[in-house]
Amino acid sequence: MCFMTDGRTDGEIGDQLRPEGQHPSRRSRNRPCIRPHHQPQLEASARHHSFSAQCKYVSVLTKSFAAMSATHSSSDETVVLYTYFRSGASWRVRIALNLKGIAYTPKFVNLLKAEQRTDEYADTVNPSRLLPALIIDGHLLNQSLAILEYLQETRPNVGPALLPPATQPEKRALVRSLCHIIASDTQPIQNLRVLQKVSDDHAARADWAKHWITLGLQAYEKAIAKCAGKYSVGDEVTMADVCLVPQIYNANRFGVDLAPFPLINRVVAELNKLEAFDKAKPENQDDNPEKQKQ
Ligand SMILES: N[C@@H](CCC(=O)N[C@@H](CS)C(=O)NCC(=O)O)C(=O)O
């Protein structure tokens, strides 16, 4: 299994569990790691402005994008992803963008510094005060599963089909149900704001996360028993795989025993061989403090 139990420190495990404001430097958090072919003003502005200024900028940008998309819909406008290296939901979108070959500019939002909780962020980026958010084709999109479906619907012939075709509604429902095992029934119960509410005690938070992740993975393992091939559903990468990989990273962080999940382990090992998945990993993100030290 390629996930990084190795090199994990208490600090890393506790990252999501630690009180806010104790995170290492954000010196280079706005440095993009993947540049779009076109680099209009947004990227330069994103790098040089405070988060507050960035929010106002996005608001303006979003409005001007809305006006633009009324006149032409193109797929080569600047794509901006609001992301944090360890955010599983952002990670899903990073994978999908890579699979679809869409270059993007990351806008780093430090969850441990609660940058997602400001009113400005809620008003201009994501009303849920969560990551991710994606600006694409002149639209500002939230909710990772909605974003994955948007990418598939707007780019059906590029990269793998994240969802089976509409002519296979049962298979589509299967893929979506696997996504929801992770994205609805598991990840939300162990995200930062829930853990912070559960307890101030790091060990208690980890216990909580471990419990719910284990139940989620038990469901996923059973659910793919009849459909897994090379990947979760047959031999094509789907949205389900995109959701699975970040969840396994969290499972490792919280010390979940993955031995009882041989199918998941096999599928994840295959997925980790793919470049689109590799590029999307936390260790390859420019806002990862470990990467900044390199
Ligand atoms: N259902 C949302 C979940 C988003 C979510 O939980 N995001 C986490 C990061 S993975 C977050 O922003 N957490 C910040 C917090 O808990 O305050 C989606 O899929 O987009």
Residue with tokens 């999908």: 96
Q: Is the CB of 179 under 6 A from ligand 1?
A: no
162 is a domain residue:
yes
* Range name among 34-38, 77-81, 180-184, 232-236 with the lowest pLDDT average: 34-38
* Greatest pairwise CA separation for the chain in angstroms: 54
Mutate to test the pocket of ligand 1, among 109, 191, 194, 198 (most ligand atoms within 8 A of CB): 191
54 is a domain residue:
no
Atom of ligand 1 nearest to the CA of 117: 17
How many domains does the chain contain in total? 1
Instruction: Specify the pLDDT at position 263.
Output: 98
Percent of the chain with pLDDT over 90: 72
Q: Is the CB of 17 under 6 A from ligand 1?
A: no
Q: Is the CB of 106 under 6 A from ligand 1?
A: no
93 is a domain residue:
yes
Instruction: Specify the pLDDT at position 291.
Output: 82
In this prediction, residue 77 has a pLDDT band, given cuts at 50, 70 and 90, of low
> Atom 10 in ligand 1: which residue has the minimum CA distance?
87
Task: Give backbone dihedrals phi and psi of 167, rounded to 5 degrees, phi first.
Answer: -75, -5
Its domain, for residue 237, covers 80-282
Q: Is the CB of 250 under 6 A from ligand 1?
A: no
Quote the crossing angle between the two packed helices 88-99 and 144-154, to the nearest 10°. Answer: 10
Cis before 36 (ω within 30): no
pLDDT tens column, 232-273: 999 999 999 999 999 999 999 999 999 999 999 999 999 999
Question: If you measure from the C-alpha of residue 72 to the centroid of ligand 1, how many angstroms do you get, rounded to a whole number?
Answer: 32
User: Which residues touch 69 (CB under 8 Å, ≥6 apart)?
Assistant: 137, 138, 139
2 is a domain residue:
no
Q: Is the CB of 144 under 6 A from ligand 1?
A: yes
Going by their DSSP bridges, the two strands 80-83 and 105-108 should be labelled as: parallel
Question: If you measure from the C-alpha of residue 112 to the centroid of ligand 1, how many angstroms do you get, rounded to a whole number?
Answer: 12
pLDDT tens column, 117-165: 999 999 999 999 999 999 999 999 999 999 999 999 999 999 999 999 9
Question: If you measure from the C-alpha of residue 22 to the centroid of ligand 1, how many angstroms do you get, rounded to a whole number?
Answer: 20
Instruction: Specify the pLDDT at position 1.
Output: 24
For 106, the token pair is 């990351």
The average pLDDT across 101-117 equals 97
39 is a domain residue:
no
The average pLDDT across 271-284 equals 98
CATH of the domain at 179: 1.20.1050.10
138, 65 contact by CB (below 8 A)? yes
Q: Which helix (H) or strand (E) holds 141?
A: strand 139-142
